Amino acid sequence: MSFNVSAKQKRKTKFKPVYTTHYSRVNPHNKTVFAAVMLKSKTFVKKTRSGGVMKIVREHYLRDDIWCGSEVCSECKQESTVLQRDACIESNLCPFPHYLVPDTNVVLHQIDVLEDPVIRNVIILQTVMQEVRHRSAPVYKRLKDLIHDKEKHFYTFTNEHHRETFIEREPGESANDRNDRAIRVAAKWYSQHLKTPEAEAEGLRVVLITNDQGNKAKAEESGLLVYRCEEYIKSLIANPELVDRLALSNNEQNEISSSKVLFPEHLPLSRIQAGIKSGTFLQGTFRASRDNYLEATVFVQGEGEDSTEIILQGLQNLNRAVHQDVVAVQLLPRDQWVAPSSVVLQDDGVPKDDETNEEEDGRRKRICVEEHMKPTGKVVGIIKRNWRPFCGMLNVSQIKESTRHLFTPADRRIPRIRIETRQASTLAGQRIMVAIDGWPKHSRYPNGHFVRSLGSAGDKETETEVLLLEHDVPHQAFSQAVLSFLPKMPWTITPEDMVKREDLRQLTVCSVDPPGCTDIDDALHCRELDNGNFEVGVHIADVSHFIRPGNALDKEAANRGTTVYLCGRRIDMVPELLSSNLCSLRSNVERMAFSCIWEMNHNAEILKTRFTKSVINSKASLTYAEAQMRIDDTSMNDDITKSLRGLNKLAKILKRRRIENGALTLSSLEVRFHIDSETHDPIDLQTKELMETNSMVEEFMLLANISVAQKIYDEFSECALLRKHPAPPPSNYDILIKAAKSKGLEIHTDSAKALADSLDVAKVDGFSYFNTLLRILATRCMMQAVYFCSGMDSDFHHYGLASSIYTHFTSPIRRYSDIIVHRLLAVAIGADSTYPDLMDKHKQSALCNNLNYRHKMAQYAQRASVAFHTQLFFKNRGILNEEGFILFVRKNAIIVLIPKFGLEGTVFFDGKGKTGVNLRFDEEVPSLTVEQHTFHMFDKVNVTISLDDSNIQHQKIRMALLEPVIPGVSVPAPEVEPQPKKPKLDR
């Protein structure tokens, strides 16, 4: 209840108090509830935004029914306990059973230690929980997971609402000091509460863990048993490896740095905020370069769609920022602006010392300066660190007995991290995880600590785990809470379900998918009506029937956002019972669907559209090849084949019309691995061939998505979840225009239709693959398509499809966006009820942000999986000789595409073993002259391909030039070895 008083009424009105009652949050470990005792009330006056006044009376209730959670306690009337009687960890400081009480900073900074299986029987105070929640959402989530893990015996004690442990803040006492005192009081209460004969007999003690010297001294004065986190962990004689997981304090970090200042001091946050307000500094996201460790950009978001990129070059200007940090940058004077580097700066893998000067770095930097200057700046402060645990490998120190080593992250955008470990010999050759603790200005590298080992480098399971962790793909097993919302088996469609749905089981519905597909989202039908028109239906799995809003299953699917397809492995968005069974539109079983049904004439013009919840029975689950074979085989005239031929005929008309309206036909090479059925290693690698049936299915999925988008926007103009594809800025096309011009062709990019028409006529005599290369390059110029909420944006246009509106409706088993669209459509046709979050445009927008992030990460993870399996494929094949085409030219390299394998690689003309090679780069053409030969984009070359596994962490495909032959640059042709007999395939 609130009571506001306007300025005019203040003199006439007596204040009515607003009562805000503070109860304890129900402790999950306490089942019994008794009467509470009110301590006292606090009163204060608050001014409202409208200028009124609100009087607030806050009542804080204390309870005497909050139990201690210990097995040894007979005083508390608790139904169940969490803290064990035999709470023993082998420690030379605490050789007796004991419970740990960590303070807030120990939880925040040493969560990796607390997560270790050795650490059990820990009391987490409400004071600590609240502080952690306010200061770090990721640590708070990890702490909650520990509390819910029954094996860990972590107990939450609601000390702020216990009559004997609540304390009030004293006059002049800071909030931090008050919380420290609350922790000491609660620890003291536990010590005294557990002084029962039974506990005394067990020798049970309570140990406070704090790294705050002042807090430790006061705890000792009050008779508490208290240790610093480090001294307690070092006392665990049976688990010495746990010391490696300790995060370093600031003092410890300074101790292991050199005395020489290597970086400028970061400005305090108050200075940064004032500078941003005055326009002296700019705030943006730091994006490190994959190709050049001395270069980064800062992405500064402007008004609306506007944004700026600022270049940073050199270690001093990067100033200890790490990829994805939010930083404050200061622009350099215009005469110090530089151009983005065209040099691919290879990391030679040799660790540098802190004392390394920047002479080499400066030499590299000077190469980059060109005519095309861009805004250039330097990092002056860090606004928000976005550090996470990083996967990688240890570079074991050459110094004997050294415990300090450098860790090299798998992600080249992350700097090396210095850690202390006594397990170096064990961890060598292992993939490990490391967390950053800090980056002092005296240190060339950040300092961190070991988190855990992932397994042997190169092992398929380990490498898959690494790429999932590095791309933040949620891949843990579904929890019992999630699985509890699945339907009970055996499951059938009930008569009650049939009443609410249209019975379409008699229709000749079939699905067409890639081979091996078990999560079948969509099925189709086509039949001729009595009036001579066609009825065409797209039937989509009704996942929203099984996943209801707000439950644990729904929240998990929303967090995952998408199914992730790796080579030989699928990480499902929803549990397998749904993805491969109850939702999957398999043949010859009844399944619930959401159907979009059109009446069309023979020119594929839509005459009527309707949407309905339905029940279908698919008559066939076909692959693209099987469907194509039916269409082409004139001897086949069954109902399924007739339906497919009708669909194919209409799809061709729809596609032609889309292209006439300006839709783009772009190109990107997708590869398919043939996997050995026993070893699961890739034994063949081919680019995927697309058939007419691929296009047929795509056309009707596009049409359904557009029809549904229009319907949900008409019904819910403020909260429709849509998908748009922004037009690229003109500068994106520079490389495409230059590449075409080098072949005497002109590309028009003022509209999607102009680009499509230009690409259609761009041909070179005797070079049939040229148009495909041009379309591959055009694809690289495109922006990313994104989800958005209609009430938060005005530009709905999908550039690539030339459609004024678009959404995703057709894949709800593997995309959460489609589940939301199903819910909106169901409400629009009266088939389901709405709920608040569905109509909240701000919550929809936040959901879209997560979906866009998850989709982007899934794409990157899929590419990384293809890259890893490509390396496995080339591992035992020696050196191959293949034909390729130049996609890009750089200052010191050409990037070559091998169409046969859908593989890209870089041929370097400088670096190790290549001294004195004469290189001339012309950015305008663009071209690279190596000695007397000039390379242009799309030139045909012959290269050798081999796997370089000298760096086990960063294995890479190496390419070297065979033809054209350039003396001193080209390599001799490899000897052709007989091909081994192919093992059997697992298709």
> Is pLDDT of 267 > 60?
yes
| Whether residues 377 and 396 fall in one domain | no
pLDDT of residue 239: 81
> Is pLDDT of 984 > 50?
no
| Whether residues 375 and 436 fall in one domain | no
pLDDT tens profile 650-667? 999 999 999 988 888 876
The pLDDT mean for the chain works out to 86
pLDDT tens profile 926-936? 899 998 899 99
> Is pLDDT of 367 > 70?
no
Which of 416, 439, 470 lies at the terminal end of a domain, its last residue?
Answer: 470
> Is pLDDT of 26 > 60?
no
Question: Lowest-confidence range among 255-259, 371-375, 742-746?
Answer: 255-259
| Whether residues 95 and 213 fall in one domain | yes
- What single letter denotes the amino acid at residue 587? S
Q: What is the mean pLDDT of residues 398-408?
A: 84
pLDDT of residue 769: 86
Inside any domain, residue 310 = yes
| Closest C-alpha to 283, from 304, 269, 265 | 269
For the chain, how many structural domains are there in total?
A: 4
> Is pLDDT of 884 > 80?
yes
Inside any domain, residue 806 = no
Inside any domain, residue 197 = yes
> Is pLDDT of 305 > 70?
no
Which of 421, 448, 470 lies at the terminal end of a domain, its last residue?
Answer: 470
| Closest C-alpha to 817, from 732, 743, 723 | 723
| Whether residues 206 and 72 fall in one domain | yes
| Whether residues 295 and 370 fall in one domain | yes
CATH of residue 338: 2.40.50.690
CA distance 251 to 405: 19
Residues 6+ apart with CB under 8 A from 655: 695, 699
> Is pLDDT of 925 > 90?
no
> Is pLDDT of 128 > 80?
yes
pLDDT of residue 878: 82
Q: Give the 3-state secondary structure of residue 312.
A: strand
Inside any domain, residue 404 = yes
- Percentage of the chain beyond pLDDT 90 is 53
| Whether residues 943 and 969 fall in one domain | yes
Q: What is the mean pLDDT of residues 799-814?
A: 94
pLDDT of residue 765: 84
> Is pLDDT of 986 > 60?
no
> Is pLDDT of 138 > 70?
yes
| Whether residues 155 and 285 fall in one domain | no
CA distance 261 to 192: 50
CA distance 864 to 861: 5
Question: Lowest-confidence range among 92-106, 319-333, 353-367, 867-881?
Answer: 353-367
| Closest C-alpha to 68, from 47, 54, 82, 56 | 82
Residue 66: DSSP 8-state:
-
Inside any domain, residue 465 = yes
Inside any domain, residue 135 = yes
CA distance 591 to 584: 8
CATH of residue 913: 2.40.50.140
Global confidence as pTM: 0.81
Q: What is the mean pLDDT of residues 869-874?
A: 86
> Is pLDDT of 45 > 80?
no
> Is pLDDT of 24 > 90?
no
| Whether residues 177 and 68 fall in one domain | yes
Q: Please, how many CA atoms are within 13 Å of residue 770, restricted to the half-sphere of its CB? A: 20
pLDDT tens profile 421-454? 888 888 988 999 999 999 999 888 999 999 999 9
Q: Which region, left, alpha or beta, applies to residue 686 given φ > 0 means left and ψ of -120 to 50 means alpha?
A: beta
Q: Are 575 and 636 in contact (CB under 8 A)?
A: no
pLDDT tier at 912 (50, 70, 90 boundaries)?
low
Which of 431, 450, 470 lies at the terminal end of a domain, its last residue?
Answer: 470
| Whether residues 195 and 91 fall in one domain | yes
pLDDT tens profile 606-636? 999 999 999 999 999 999 999 999 999 999 9
Domain that holds residue 444: 388-470
CATH of residue 416: 2.40.50.700
CA geometry: angle at 648 spanning 644 and 649, to 5°?
120
pLDDT of residue 924: 84
The highest-confidence range among 101-105, 667-671, 872-876, by mean pLDDT, is: 101-105
Inside any domain, residue 99 = yes
Which stretches does DSSP call E strand in 832-982?
880-889, 893-898, 903-908, 919-922, 927-930, 933-936, 940-948, 956-963
> Is pLDDT of 719 > 60?
yes
Sheet holding 940-948, edge to edge: 903-908, 893-898, 880-889, 940-948, 956-963
pLDDT tier at 402 (50, 70, 90 boundaries)?
confident
| Closest C-alpha to 250, from 54, 446, 25, 490 | 446
pLDDT of residue 38: 61
Residue bearing the bigger pLDDT, 683 or 862 = 862
pLDDT of residue 4: 39
Q: What is the mean pLDDT of residues 78-83?
A: 86
- What single letter denotes the amino acid at residue 218? K
Q: What is the mean pLDDT of residues 117-137?
A: 93
CA distance 693 to 651: 9
pLDDT tier at 356 (50, 70, 90 boundaries)?
very low
How many angstroms separate the Cα of 428 from the Cα of each of 133, 395, 410, 432, 445?
Answer: 37, 8, 15, 9, 20
Residue bearing the bigger pLDDT, 520 or 352 = 520
Q: For residue 81, what are its two tokens?
A: 């306990």
Q: What is the mean pLDDT of residues 33-55?
A: 67
| Closest C-alpha to 125, from 210, 37, 229, 22 | 210
Residue bearing the bigger pLDDT, 563 or 970 = 563
| Whether residues 189 and 331 fall in one domain | no
Number of Cβ within 10 Å of residue 37's Cβ equals 10
Q: Give the 3-state secondary structure of residue 644.
A: helix
pLDDT tens profile 270-294? 999 999 999 999 999 999 988 788 8
Inside any domain, residue 436 = yes
CA distance 239 to 236: 6
| Closest C-alpha to 85, from 102, 65, 68 | 68
pLDDT tier at 386 (50, 70, 90 boundaries)?
confident
pLDDT tier at 363 (50, 70, 90 boundaries)?
very low
| Whether residues 287 and 319 fall in one domain | yes
> Is pLDDT of 566 > 80?
yes
> Is pLDDT of 674 > 90?
no
| Whether residues 463 and 372 fall in one domain | no
